[in-house]
Structure formats: C-alpha cells, structure tokens
C-alpha cells in the first residue's frame, strides 16, 4: 500500500510539472521556406566553391599556418551565415 501511494504521488508530481512547462513558440515556425530561390542556390554554390578553394590553398604546401586556419574559419562562418539567411523564412 505504501509503495502504491508513493508511486501515485511521484506520478502526480511529474504530470504536474510536465504540464506546467511553457511552450517555446517559434514565431517563424509556419513561414519556413521549403526550398531556396535560384539566386540563393547560386550564391550557396559559389560559397561552397570559395570555401573549397580556400582549403585547397591552405593544404597546398602540406601544413596549415595560423593565418590559413583563420581564413578557413572565416570562409566557413561566411558560408554558414549565407545558408542560414537563405533558409531564414
């Protein structure tokens, strides 16, 4: 009897806390694009090519310096921002 009472109390507490959690609503949830436009597709392809070129230049001599790592990181961030902006809505 004691175990059943403790079990029911635990169940009631978890159900109460789960239902009290707030729903995080994304205001853009219903407006996300399913695909990108042709212009954005071209921009993304150019960005991918530019990122690959930066990586090829960095690995050309077999080692990557601090400046080359910085250039790769900046190209990756630029590409990520472009993709995020393309899928923004």
12, part of any domain:
no
15, part of any domain:
no
19, part of any domain:
no
Q: How many domains does the chain have?
A: 1
5, part of any domain:
no
Whole-model pTM over 0.85: no
71, part of any domain:
yes
33-87 pLDDT, tens digit per residue, is 567 888 999 999 999 999 999 999 999 999 999 999 999 999 999 999 999 988 8
**Higher-confidence position of 16 and 21:** 16
8, part of any domain:
no
Say if CB 72 and CB 55 are below 8 A apart: yes
21, part of any domain:
no
Q: Which long-range contacts (CB under 8 A, 24 or more apart) does 20-26 make?
A: none
**How far, in whole angstroms, is CA 3 from its chain's centroid?**
45
36, part of any domain:
yes
Domain span including residue 34: 26-86
């Amino acid at each position: 009897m004691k175990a059943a009472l403790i079990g029911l109390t635990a169940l009631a507490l978890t159900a109460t806390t789960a239902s009290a959690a707030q729903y995080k609503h994304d205001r853009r949830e219903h407006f996300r694009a399913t695909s990108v436009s042709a212009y954005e597709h071209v921009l993304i392809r150019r960005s991918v090519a530019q990122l690959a070129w930066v990586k090829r230049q960095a690995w050309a001599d077999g080692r990557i310096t601090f400046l080359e790592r910085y250039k790769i990181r900046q190209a990756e961030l630029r590409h990520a921002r472009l993709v995020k902006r393309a899928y923004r809505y």
